[in-house]
Structure formats: C-alpha cells, structure tokens
Amino acid sequence: LGLLYQEYRDKSTRQEIETRRLQDSQTDPEESSPSEETPSEAEPTSTTESKAPPQISLLRNSNSRFNLWQDLPEIRSSGVLSILQPDEIKLQEAMFELVTSEASYYKSLNLLVSHFMENERLKKILHQSEAHILFSNVLDVMAVSERFLLDLEQRVEENIVISDVCDIVYQHTVNHFSVYITYVSNQTYQERAYKQLLQDKPAFREVISQLELDPKCKGLSFSSFLILPFQRITRLKLLVQNILKKVEEKSDRETTALDAHKELETVVKACNEGVRKMSRTEQMISIQKKLEFKIKSVPIISHSRWLLKQGELQQMNGPKTSRTLRTKKLFREIYLFLFNDLLVICRQIPGDKYQVFDSAPRGLLRVEELEDQGQSLANVFILRLLENADDREASYMLKASSQSEMKRWMISLAPNRRTKFVSFTSRLVDCPQIQCVHPYVAQQPDELSLELADVLNILDKTDDGWIFGERLHDQERGWFPSSMGEEILNPKIRAQNLKECFRVHKSDDSQRKKLGSRNRQ
C-alpha cells in the first residue's frame, strides 16, 4: 500500500485489461491465468517480512507491502489455502481488494488535506471563500473514509478468512456516503475556481507547482487529488459488482452485495445529477438568449429539460422530386437544437443569434436513411415531424458532413429506432463487445466518457471510426472513437460478460424492462 490511489487504480484497471485480453485469446474462459483472480495493485510482497498474527492494520500501517490476500504471511502460514475452493479464494481476493483500495484512497485523501489544503503558504494566498470552493467538504469525505476503513479493517482482523464486506458497504453508503454527493456536486464550481486562480493569481500557480514537485505526490497533479472522491465512489460500485459476480447464488452474501450495489448506484446517480444540474441550467439560459422566434415562442428553460445535441446540417431546397439535381444551391444551412423533450429548428442570423422557424416534441420525430443516391446526396436522411409548430406534419431532407454525424443525429433524434446491433437489455444471446484501453472524455452531449477497462456492447458503428455503445456496468449509452477500445472476439467471454451483467442487475427486473426504451444520453 505504498501506492497512492491514483497509481493503485491505474494498475488495477490496466491489469484488468490484460487479463481480459488473455481470456479473449483462449478458447475456454476458465483457462485464464491466475492473475484473473485479483489485480496486482500494490507493491510486491517483501520477502523479508516475518510471520505475523492474523491482524492486518491497513490504516495504521501505511508502509504495508502486501499484494494479494493469499500472499499475506498469516494466510500462507495458516494452511487455509489448501482447504478453500478456488472460487472462494477468488471471492476473498475481491473482498480484500475493496479493503486495500480504500486504504490507498484514504492515504491519497490525507495527502490532499495535509500537503495542499493545510499548507500555510497556500492558506495566505487563498481567500476563505476560494478555499471553500476549492476543497469543499473534503474533511467530511476523509472522516467518512477513515470510519469506513476502520470497520473494514475490524472485519478483516476478525478472521483470516473474510466473512463479508458488503454489509459494511451497505451500512456506510446508507448512513454516511451522502458527503460524496455534496463534494461531487461542487465539481463544476471547483474546476472553474481552480482555472480562475491559476489565471489570476501567479503566487497560487507557483505554490501549487512547487507542491506538485514534492516526492510525496509521485508526479501526480493537484487536480488528480481533487477528483479522487468522484473516482472512488464510482470505483467502489464496480468493486462491489466484482464481489457480486463471485459470491454463490441465492446466498446471504449475494443478498448483501445486491443491497450494497443498489445503494451505491443511488449515490453515484445523485453525484452525476449534481454535476450536471448547474452546467445544464447555465447552458439553457445561454441558449434562450440566442433564440429569436419567427413562429409562436416556445419557453426553453425548464428544470426537466437539457440539451442532447446541437449543430449545423444542410437542408435540401425545393420539392423531393428535385433531389436528383446536382447544383451548389441544392442545400442551405440550418441549425438544430435538440433537447431531451423538444427539437428547435433554426437559421443562424448575424450577432450569434438563431431564428427559430419550426419545432416539435422529441417524441413526435421520425427519421429515415436514404438509400445510396450518389456523392452529392451521401449522408442524407429524412426527418419527419409528426406534429410541428403549426400542428401539421412536416418533412425535412437533411445532409450531414459525414456518415458518423448522420448516424449520431439519427439516433439522437429518434432514440427508439433500431440500431445495427441490439442492446444487451433485449437479452440477446450474443452482441459485439469492446473493452476500453484508452480513457476518453466526452466532447459532445451525445458522447460517452470512458474509463480504462470499461466493457461495452456495440450498438452501431460507422465507417469513419465511431462507435455507439452501451456500457455494461451502468447501461449508459453514447458515441466514442473506435480507437479507444479493442473488440472482444471470444463469444464465450462476451456471453460471460452478459451473464455477469444480468446477475448484477437482477435485483430490479422492472427497471431493466424500461432500459430498452429509455434514452440514456
């Protein structure tokens, strides 16, 4: 546990990728290497450590160099490894990983507070309100992590074979983890304040740079410490999922794992909503100011409305019969604002303004791809408004700049339209899958941010390098560059991934039935 959490997490996810690569290259998933049992996330076991009694104080002994549960001296000397079944050893490793990763996370949080937040030079530079925005309630988050880790440690020390950890996760999630929602909801303000301070206060920039160079930080940036709580609460859910995949079915441990996972999912969703809420409100106000209505005005700002996609398309002029004409004036620019419940069609006018000439509820939109009509009509699709601003049906022939842009618009405009491949929520036996090998940050509202080792079903793909995918662990959908991932070719591994996913989400069948029709962009 000499690793900071950022290093720990990176090693864990990269080993997960390598393990899946190995599985994918084999005929039988059960033939995978022993590394599948648990990620090697800490420094190698010291060969000079003496045997110790079965007490493992991860919080108080920050120099602990243990790697896997089965590498602990007290585990090796107990003879328990010769008694336990291989599946139980895998489960022990999964539970132990949750505990050791929390210890690493607590160490990083402690460094954020002691090295940055409590630095005397930084305190003198920052106004109290600036410090509050920058560090938010990190002290509460650290206190919660310490309490959580102590309870986990106590459980580990009760017996060399860990009975369960998900009951502890459940209790702390229900009673204490709301501090994460507060911290993460402040993220937009935090990022903005940090950029502003770097820009406006040279002294702040200088001190932060000097603190980052300290060997304690191991080359990691200040911002990587600030984002720790959001990364941890998301990762914790995945660690519980990993345990859930390994516990025996219809057991008490499965029940506690399902309960813990459900509560963590609630907290993660609340964190995501907290982050989105402020940026969405500001964005809607900005859009409202830019719109001028040629038709009857539509109120844009609403607490339940947000932007899904915006951009320019080419509209075909004249009746459909003229679509074979090959003239430069065949198309003219229009601009679309697509919200989760409304489409607004505009033309750009001087002064960074947009004149609205049509609109329709999103639920009354239909799209149709044109057959190959030659180069000038490539990437063209038909958009039908079943009921437009004049309460009539209207059709628009629209041309996108590329195949991927056309498909992205079509899926955003009509989310229930069947994609090339079917989502896992349809219980399809097999579906193309991809695992993320490079992290990706979404650049547009219809894109999906990816973390290393994410596994996704491929719902659609384009010839110019984009994939529309559905992430298995949370069913979030969106577009991302195909270069970010590697396709999983082994059908047995794909089937195993789906089976595990169904198991994780089986506690809420009614929710799963809704997933196929719900737009998750």
Give the tens place of pLDDT for each residue, 180-237.
999 999 998 999 999 999 999 999 999 999 999 999 999 999 999 999 999 999 999 9
Confidence band, pLDDT 50/70/90 cuts, at residue 470? very high
pLDDT at 85: 93
Residues 440, 396 share a domain: no
Residues 221, 364 share a domain: no
pLDDT at 490: 93
Q: What is the domain-level CATH number for residue 138?
A: 1.20.900.10
Residues 255, 158 share a domain: yes
pLDDT at 134: 97
- Mean local confidence (pLDDT), 465-488: 94
Domain range for 467:
424-512
What secondary structure letter does DSSP report for 148? H
pLDDT at 436: 96
pLDDT at 55: 43
Total number of domains constituting the chain:
3
Does the residue 310 lie in any domain?
A: yes
Residues 226, 274 share a domain: yes
| Sheet arrangement for strand 353-361 | 291-293, 353-361, 342-349, 331-339, 307-316, 394-399, 380-385, 365-369
Residue-wise pLDDT for 337-378, tens only, equals 999 999 999 999 999 999 999 999 999 999 998 876 666 678
Burial (CB < 10 A; 0-12, 13-18, 19+), residue 387, is: middle
Looking at every residue in the chain, the average pLDDT score rounds to 85
Residues 476, 339 share a domain: no
Residues 298, 280 share a domain: no
State how far the Cα of 470 lies from the Cα of 458, in Å rounded to an integer: 7
Confidence band, pLDDT 50/70/90 cuts, at residue 23? confident
Residues 150, 72 share a domain: yes
Does the residue 439 lie in any domain?
A: yes
Does the residue 117 lie in any domain?
A: yes
pLDDT at 428: 52
Does the residue 48 lie in any domain?
A: no
State how far the Cα of 194 lies from the Cα of 224, in Å rounded to an integer: 12
| Cα–Cα distances in angstroms (integers) from residue 70 to residues 14, 37, 95, 98, 371, in the given order | 21, 10, 12, 15, 60
Q: Taking a C-beta distance cutoff of 8 angstroms, is the pair 264, 240 a contact?
A: yes
Does the residue 380 lie in any domain?
A: yes
| pLDDT at residue 329 greater than cutoff 70 | no
Q: What is the pTM of this model?
A: 0.79
Residues 247, 130 share a domain: yes
Residues 445, 373 share a domain: no
Least confident of 284-298, 402-416, 418-432: 418-432
Does the residue 20 lie in any domain?
A: no
Confidence band, pLDDT 50/70/90 cuts, at residue 28? low
Does the residue 124 lie in any domain?
A: yes
Residues 406, 478 share a domain: no
Position with higher pLDDT, 58 vs 89: 89
Residues 208, 176 share a domain: yes
The residue out of 379, 413, 447 marking a domain boundary is 413
Q: What is the domain-level CATH number for residue 461?
A: 2.30.30.40
The residue out of 354, 384, 413 marking a domain boundary is 413
pLDDT at 364: 95
Residues 155, 121 share a domain: yes
CB atoms < 10 A from the CB of 151, how many? 16
The residue out of 413, 438, 454 marking a domain boundary is 413
- For residue 350, what is the enclosing H or E element? none
Angle between helices 178-185 and 187-200 (to 10 degrees): 40
Does the residue 31 lie in any domain?
A: no
Residue-wise pLDDT for 92-125, tens only, equals 999 999 999 999 999 999 999 999 999 999 999 9
Q: What is the domain-level CATH number for residue 358?
A: 2.30.29.30
State how far the Cα of 301 lies from the Cα of 291, in Å rounded to an integer: 12
Q: 301-314: buried (b, 16+ CB within 10 Å) or exposed (e) per residue?
A: eeeeebbbbbbebb
